[in-house]
């Protein structure tokens, strides 16, 4: 859940960051702070990806007919246990 929260926070701040960049109204420190947030998030994503290397998730893609986007369906085995709970991310 930590990764999800970081994504939410960064996404919420991205619009203002872009506006400030375009208007040249952002300090060097603010730019570095935003960049470090992105680096930290990328590190957490990389760490999670490395911890799931070799993990097989069963499932499939189905078309529900009501949208243009396919949906993922759970495999026959149900939920797959992750070696480390997502709440620890």
- First-to-last CA distance in the chain? 6
Note the pLDDT tens digit of each residue in 49-68: 888 766 666 667 676 666 66
- Mean pLDDT, residues 24-49 taken together: 95
Total-model pTM: 0.56
Q: What angle do CA 76, 79, 83 make, to 5 degrees?
A: 130
Note the pLDDT tens digit of each residue in 16-31: 999 999 999 999 999 9
Spell out the domain ranges in the chain.
Answer: 2-75
Which residues touch 56 (CB under 8 Å, ≥6 apart)?
A: none
């Amino acid at each position: 859940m930590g990764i999800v929260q970081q994504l939410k926070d960064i996404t919420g701040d991205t619009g203002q960051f872009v506006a400030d960049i375009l208007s040249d109204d952002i300090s060097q420190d603010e730019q570095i702070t935003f960049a470090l947030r992105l680096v930290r998030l990328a590190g957490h994503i990389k760490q999670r990806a490395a911890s799931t290397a070799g993990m097989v998730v069963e499932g499939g893609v189905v078309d529900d007919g009501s949208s243009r986007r396919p949906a993922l369906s759970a495999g026959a085995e149900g939920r797959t246990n992750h070696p480390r709970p997502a709440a620890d991310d």
